[in-house]
Structure 1
Amino acid sequence: MSADTPTDVFEAHRPVLMGVAYRMLGRVADAEDVVQDAWLRWSGADHGQVREPRGYLVRITTRLAVDRLREIRARGEAYAGPWLPEPYVTDFADSAPDGAERAVLADSVSFAVLVVLESLSPLERAVFVLREAFGYPYAEIAAVLDRGEAAVRQLAARARRHVDERRPRYTVDPAERRDLTKRFLAAAADGDLAALMSLLAPDVRLVGDSGGKAKAPLRVLETADKVGRFLVAVTAAEASRLSLRLLEANGGVAVLALSGGKPDTVLQLDVADGVVHTVYLVRNPDKLRSLAGR
């Protein structure tokens, strides 16, 4: 099979297409479905008429993701408790060798940003993803979405303003997060409430996503005392049946807890100035299926 076959061309661009679809949807299974639909469109295309395969494939994927997002929202399904994106294993070492580019990609796929993106319209979200995460010029985004460039610029300005107003106002340093995550786990495993609380910002928040299908707070917990006591109690009750490992997810280090070899919980911390500002817990089993075998 030559390097120029349609299959090889598509596979070469699959990571970018998956990145676009996941940032649009926040759900791994839906993103994979969109990429598969893009493949079906690509396999039936007249490839001799496609001058820029990447642009063509990103356009198809983005439009399919916009349609899928509209379908999801039209269903208006209620969600039990706080919502978090489905954990997504990320590795930007090969696709983004430049440190600044890696930082942009990591930020655009973080829990904090994806939660904010849920409140954007599908078109605003598409413009934000293509512009902020992948650096597409406004003219190209306009062609992708079949909109005028002026309209795209307005969508971009609204999306950026909305995200800036609601996203955390601190930068998460990868090395600091990894170090603090290890210290956090050690304090929780030892049941050392004082040590754990020393790692938490006074206004720390714990956001637990269970979808009503596992044990987790149905409301966001706030303050170091409430979050610390909850974590110590949960660790004491659950530690004996869980094994832990670190993985790279959503742009940074995360903790995967396994029960009987199956994914049980994903924990990730947002940290700054040496303390934890947000604890994310994903326990909805439907959102952990893609991590089986990790």
Structure 2
Amino acid sequence: MSEPTAMPGAIAAADDQTEFYLDQRELLFALAYNLTGCVADTEDVLQDTWLAWAAAPRSEIGNPRAYLVRIAVNSALGRLRRASRAREHYLGPWLPEPVLTTPDAAESAVAGESVSLALMVVLETLTPLERAVFVLREAFAYDYTEIASLLDRTPVAVRQLAHRARQRVRARQPRRAARPQAVRAVTERFLDAALGGNMDTLLEVLAPDVRLWTDGGGRRHAALRVIEGRAKVLRLIGHNLAGLPALTVRPVDVIGGPATLLVVAEEIFAVLVVELADDDRVGGIYAVLNPDKLTGVVRRRVPAARRASPVPVPADTPAAG
């Protein structure tokens, strides 16, 4: 049984069960994606959730929305555990798979400061359970009792996990959030200088302690570690851009924040996200080059999906799976 497709005609003909699932799909996508950072895993989570929902006896479900959320979160958590082991052998830095969001997604469930690409990189340093608690608490505003019910933990245990996660995130916290207009302006200046070979401007726009993540996944030439320091970043930029054909630059929004598509001959070569330092110079550069993460980047555009109110998770909600 495949997950239903959200086509207008299909929705009109669907039963209440399917319509309800489709109404919750954007929230479920956001939860799963923020936990896994991978679109394929997110789509698998949605499929798992739909199959469980379609087979569930309605008489045993006190809160349908809470039931769907619980299935999705636990399915995503299981996939995150498996992915965390696999990423230990990933060739070079691992970055989340880019997901384009609509420009008005500032308050979207999949967007916002709490789930920025830079923060998702930091979340990779947490255990899967710590990440789940952090995302549910900080990005989706679930209270500790709700999270405890979702993860089959006590509220006390959840509070401890949240405390540890916040401490670890704070120690590696991405630089301060900047206004999107400022990020776009600095990104444009950085790219103009990089593509034009203007070293003087690059020296001005890059912070002395700038860091560069390049995720090639073994499929494209990329650094096998995070590059730190302006001099090293300048050398790598100059070396990598020298052999490229003409690039087209297209501003977009990725996970609700400013980003850039670098396009060669109508094919996406990279997705670039710039993070500003405290002095509004470039403090972090995240370049997703792995073709496996770019093939569906335009198709996978996520609209704004607000979480209108907290989702209650009653104690009698049936466990997932």
Total equivalences in the alignment:
288
- 1:278–1:135: structure 2 CA closer, same or farther, 3 Å change rule? same
Counterparts of 1:220 and 1:81 in 2: how far apart (Å)?
A: 8
> What TM-score comes out, normalization by structure 1 length?
0.89
Q: CA deviation at 1:75?
A: 4.9
Q: Which is helix-richer, 1 or 2? A: 1
Counterparts of 1:54 and 1:118 in 2: how far apart (Å)?
A: 28
Q: CA deviation at 1:224?
A: 1.8
Which residue identity is paired with 2:70? R
Matched, 1:191 2:197: yes
Counterpart in 1 of 2:228? 222
> What TM-score comes out, normalization by structure 2 length?
0.82
Q: CA deviation at 1:239?
A: 4.1
- 1:76-125 deviation digits (Å, cap 9, x = unpaired): 7511111111112234736827xxxx8x9422322221122112222111
- 1:48–1:94: structure 2 CA closer, same or farther, 3 Å change rule? farther
Which residue identity is paired with 1:167? Q
**Higher mean displacement: 19-28 or 224-233:** 224-233
Counterparts of 1:105 and 1:250 in 2: how far apart (Å)?
A: 5
Matched, 1:281 2:287: yes
Structure 1 segments, 4+ long, off by >4 Å, are: 74-77
Q: 2:252 aligns with which of 240, 247, 252?
A: 247
Counterparts of 2:106 and 2:182 in 1: how far apart (Å)?
A: 23
Counterpart in 2 of 1:50? 61
The 8 Å contact of residues 105 and 256 in structure 2, kept in 1 or not, is answered as: no
Counterpart in 1 of 2:34? 23
Q: CA deviation at 1:180?
A: 0.8
The DSSP-based 3-state class of the residue aligned with 1:289 is: coil
- 1:17-62 deviation digits (Å, cap 9, x = unpaired): 1111111111111111111111111111233543433222111100
Provide structure 1 residue ranges, at least 5 long, that are not aligned to the other structure. none
Using the aligned pairs only, state the percent identity: 46
The DSSP-based 3-state class of the residue aligned with 2:225 is: coil
- 1:75–1:280: structure 2 CA closer, same or farther, 3 Å change rule? closer
Counterparts of 1:271 and 1:74 in 2: how far apart (Å)?
A: 31
Counterparts of 1:162 and 1:9 in 2: how far apart (Å)?
A: 37
Higher relative contact order, chain-length normalized (CA < 8 Å, sep 6+) = 2
Counterparts of 2:150 and 2:92 in 1: how far apart (Å)?
A: 35
Counterparts of 1:237 and 1:73 in 2: how far apart (Å)?
A: 34
Provide structure 2 residue ranges, at least 5 long, that are not aligned to the other structure. 1-11, 302-321
- 1:181–1:74: structure 2 CA closer, same or farther, 3 Å change rule? closer
Counterpart in 2 of 1:263? 268
- 1:126–1:227: structure 2 CA closer, same or farther, 3 Å change rule? same
